[in-house]
Amino acid sequence: MNRWIRTAGLLLAVLLIGTSLAQAAREKETFRIVLVPERNIFEQQRKYRKLCDYTCTLLPLDITFDVLKGYEEVLLALKEGKANGAFMGSFVAAYGIDNYGFVPLVRPVWPSGESHYSSYIFKRSDLPLTRDIANWKGRSFVFSGPHTSAGYYFPLSLLRSNGVAEPGEFFSSVQFAGSHDAALWMVANDMADLGAAKSTIYLEFTKRNPELGEKVEVLYSGGRYPDATLVVLPSIPREVRESLRSVFLTMDTNPEGRETLRMFGALKFINTQPGDFDGVRQVVEGSGMKIDQIRLLD
């Protein structure tokens, strides 16, 4: 009889544990964060993997990070509710804040001590091009993409301030590389004469590829835009938003967090507000447009 009671008790305990685990698994909701492809997609995934592991251990959320094909795909995933948040470049973040009410939470501070980036306009080193924009006429230009402050709107604004309203008529050809490092690669490999990219990717690319770095030369730098900002949908409950914010803001206060930051390539994360993107709005206006009138999605 006692043996039967012990067996029944053991079975009941196993059943209760199994039920508790299943309930915990159900309660840990998936929180999908998508990424804008600023660099090679495999490099982007590697960079964010450890960040994903760290946040999952501290939050009652099953956080996933996915790199999508382009800026439009990231916006569409958020608009359709297929993602809860995103790490975004400054233009797409500002666009989402102004048009869809995205809530900015945090952004990284890099080893340089900066949490902003600039735009670099560069040429192939062997070309006799100068800062005199008039002598760029008839050359080929590659933008990083059509939805980036550094890789599109800053060079548009610079050209416009120098009397070039239609780049397609001024240059022999205009291309979009699809990412900042791809624009650098194209200029370094004689596929374009001039290009534009964000400063952080330029410095990272030329350090990692010194032989290609020798083939490009910066002519202009300008702008100051918040880098890699984590935004979430306005429908995300405030307590979830603040829990996420807190995990990132305190990452540099413990050994595991500091190791995660080291692997990510940052010193810490800092708080970010909608007003931090005023420089983006200004450079878009300088290019002849307004951020709330641009339509990225139908």
Q: Are 29-113+227-286 and 116-223 equal in CATH topology?
A: yes
Q: Which residue has the higher pLDDT, 286 or 19?
A: 286
Confidence of residue 17 (pLDDT cuts 50, 70, 90): very low
Strand pairing category for 85-88 and 61-67: unpaired
Tell me the mean pLDDT in the region 171-179: 95
Confidence of residue 11 (pLDDT cuts 50, 70, 90): very low
Q: Looking at domain 29-113+227-286, does it have CATH number 3.40.190.10?
A: yes
Q: Domain 116-223 belongs to what architecture?
A: 3-Layer(aba) Sandwich (3.40)
Q: Where are the domains of the chain?
A: 29-113+227-286, 116-223
Read out DSSP for 94-163? HHHHHHH--EEEEEEE-TTS-SEEEEEEEEETTS---S-GGGGTT-EEEES-TT-IIIIIHHHHHHHHTT
d(CA 297, CA 16): 49
Instruction: Please choose, from the candidates 176, 272, 291, 159, the residue with its C-alpha nearest in 3D space to the C-alpha of residue 220.
Output: 159
Q: Which of 8-22, 165-179, 199-213 comes out lowest in average pLDDT?
A: 8-22
**Whether residue 44 has pLDDT greater than 90:** no
Residue 122 φ/ψ, nearest 5 degrees: -130, 160
pTM above the 0.95 mark? no
Question: 102-120 pLDDT, tens per residue?
Answer: 999 999 999 999 999 999 9
Tell me the mean pLDDT in the region 276-286: 96
Contacts of 192 (CB under 8 A, 6+ apart): 124, 140, 141, 142, 173, 175, 183, 186
| pLDDT the model gives residue 48 | 82
> In 130-285, where do the E strands start and end?
140-143, 173-176, 194-198, 216-226, 229-232, 268-271
**Whether residue 234 has pLDDT greater than 90:** yes
| pLDDT the model gives residue 38 | 58
Q: Token pair 């059943």 is at which residue?
A: 15
Mean pLDDT rounded to a whole number for the chain: 87
Contact of 161 with 215, CB cutoff 8 Å: no
| pLDDT the model gives residue 39 | 56
**Whether residue 282 has pLDDT greater than 90:** yes
Question: 80-91 pLDDT, tens per residue?
Answer: 999 999 998 899
| pLDDT the model gives residue 3 | 47
Instruction: Please choose, from the candidates 269, 298, 283, 249, the residue with its C-alpha nearest in 3D space to the C-alpha of residue 118.
Output: 283
**Whether residue 22 has pLDDT greater than 50:** no
d(CA 116, CA 107): 9
Tell me the mean pLDDT in the region 239-250: 95
205 Ramachandran zone, left/alpha/beta (phi>0; psi -120 to 50): alpha
**Whether residue 72 has pLDDT greater than 80:** yes
| pLDDT the model gives residue 53 | 85
| pLDDT the model gives residue 215 | 97
